[in-house]
Amino acid sequence: MNTPTTDAASVLLEEYPLPGVVLLRLNRPEVLNALNLALRRALADAFVRLDADPAVQVVVLAGDARAFCAGADLGEYVDATPAELMARRHDLLWGAVAGCSKPVIAAVRGHALGGGCELALHADLIVAGRSARLGQPEVKVGIMPGGGATQRLTRAIGKHAALKLLLLGEPIGADTAADLGLVAEVVDDAETESRALALAAQLLALPAWALRSIKASVLMAMETPLSAGLAHERALFQTLFATHDQHEGMRARLDKRAPRFTGS
């Protein structure tokens, strides 16, 4: 796995704290990591490249101590026309993040609002620091979410809880988010990234194709009727019996030893 290079104009930093794990850091601290078009494109490019890199198994997405991401950069929106918004093809940029087949963990501290909350919702696990504030305040500036919150948030926490957040535009804290099932864990701020990386390390020790198949099946459950989801699950389950890790995992359990997974 090659460490990518960055330059002074880069809005996205990439670090490799563990072999097989990539830490992507949003790097616009002067505006609380607000999403401008350049950052959105850099983020999409990074996810496409990392998803295709066989050396990468888990992606951890983080901001900084003040903010995960404060949402869209309103300076790019205040005078935008519908035609200009359509030309930006945000659907393709969000799709690159959503399309990542590998586990994605969001480490959230501080603000995760609007597009920042939607970005966190694209992750498979959210580890929240106690300072985390998550919400969809778009209604307060005369619009609605456009990055998937009306769909993903509703599926994550249910209609009534989602509508309270979406209609009132008020953020919630980390503990409330955990009670709603929006975040997986709440930890002290100083431990947020280390805990996300520890979870990534746990995932590294597990069979990669099984992890990806589980993720694919769960995401399918969000989009299809039960019968179609069950058929998809069965197909993936059967396909895993063609992998080395299936045989190794079951043989190791029968032999009462630790498995040696290879990701194949």
Taking 50 as the pLDDT cut, the residues of the chain under it are: 1-11
pLDDT for res 18? 81
Q: Is residue 7 part of a domain?
A: no
Instruction: Choose among 110, 111, 72, 75: nearest CA to 94.
Output: 72
Eight-class DSSP state of 189: G
Contact 212, 102 (CB under 8 A): yes
Whether 221 and 129 map to the same domain: the answer is: no
pLDDT for res 68? 97
Is residue 118 flagged as an active site residue? yes
Contact 108, 70 (CB under 8 A): no
Contact 127, 195 (CB under 8 A): yes
Number of domains in the chain: 2
Whether 64 and 163 map to the same domain: the answer is: yes
Q: Is residue 263 part of a domain?
A: no
Q: What is the pTM of this model?
A: 0.92
Active-site residue identified among 118, 191, 193, 248: 118
Range of the domain at 113: 12-204
**CATH code for the domain in which residue 234 is found:** 1.10.12.10
Residue 25 to residues 67, 142, 149, 255, Cα–Cα distance (Å): 11, 30, 22, 42
Whether 37 and 142 map to the same domain: the answer is: yes
Whether 132 and 226 map to the same domain: the answer is: no
Whether 71 and 35 map to the same domain: the answer is: yes
pLDDT for res 12? 66
pLDDT for res 134? 98
The tens digit of pLDDT for each residue in 183-240 reads 999 999 999 999 999 999 999 999 999 999 999 999 999 999 999 999 999 999 999 9
Q: Is residue 115 part of a domain?
A: yes
**CATH code for the domain in which residue 198 is found:** 3.90.226.10
Instruction: Choose among 114, 154, 155: nearest CA to 135.
Output: 114
Q: Is residue 264 part of a domain?
A: no
> What's the 3-state SS for 35-61?
ECHHHHHHHHHHHHHHHHCCCCCEEEE
Whether 69 and 132 map to the same domain: the answer is: yes
Unique residue bearing structure tokens 């003040």: 66
